[in-house]
Amino acid sequence: MNDFIRLIKDRRSVREYTDRPIEKRILEEIVDAGRLAPSARNIQPWKFLMVTEKGKLSEIAKQVEWGHFIKDSTACVVICGEKGVKRRVEDCCLAAENMILAAKSLGVGSCYVAALQKDVEGVRNLLNVPENLEIVCFLSLGYFEKNPEPHDKKELEDVIHWESF
């Protein structure tokens, strides 16, 4: 098994973080990995808003359903897609996964927090997210002490099919 496959197998959503701030250079590296994700017709209809101020993180945590742990993170990427671009959601999700794996490789834990079909208008106002952008998801980030226990995953033989169902 190579190091990258090992990293994928070891990754968990991390919701408990230490107080150690993430260096700007590391945050930029994470977003850079998102920027390089595949994108339908290479439109790259995304903007990544990095939030590190404690007060803002606490406010986002209050506003976003199932995102209370964002208050304990040291950074949160607000991943936004350009409204009107057909494949914006897929594009943003692929960027998110790139960032999740890049973060892991840099020792930073992360958790994807959904925004679609949730009321995130309060976050839009808090962060001045322009009306032409849709908040697709949040990515909480932080250094962590222990990798969470593995979640149950379906076995390969239960999900893989060859040639035909």
Residues that bind ligand FMN (CB under 6 A): 12-13, 66-67, 111-114, 151
Output phi, psi for 80, to 5 deg: -120, 140
Non-local (6+) Cβ contacts of 45 within 8 A are: 39, 81, 82, 85, 87, 88, 91, 92
Question: Cβ of residue 162: shortest distance to ligand FMN, in angstroms?
Answer: 25
Question: Cβ of residue 111: shortest distance to ligand FMN, in angstroms?
Answer: 5
Could you give the CA distance from residue 11 to residue 28 in angstroms, rounded to a whole number?
20
Residue among 13 and 52 whose Cβ is closer to ligand FMN: 13
Measured on CA atoms in the order 96, 99, 103, 104, is the torsion positive or negative?
A: positive
Question: Cβ of residue 13: shortest distance to ligand FMN, in angstroms?
Answer: 3
Residue among 99 and 113 whose Cβ is closer to ligand FMN: 113
Residue among 4 and 28 whose Cβ is closer to ligand FMN: 4
DSSP H helical ranges for the chain: 3-10, 24-35, 54-63, 88-105, 121-127, 156-159
Output phi, psi for 47, to 5 deg: -135, 140
Residue among 27 and 111 whose Cβ is closer to ligand FMN: 111
Residue among 117 and 128 whose Cβ is closer to ligand FMN: 117
Question: Cβ of residue 143: shortest distance to ligand FMN, in angstroms?
Answer: 17
Question: Cβ of residue 25: shortest distance to ligand FMN, in angstroms?
Answer: 26
Could you give the CA distance from residue 22 to residue 28 in angstroms, rounded to a whole number?
10
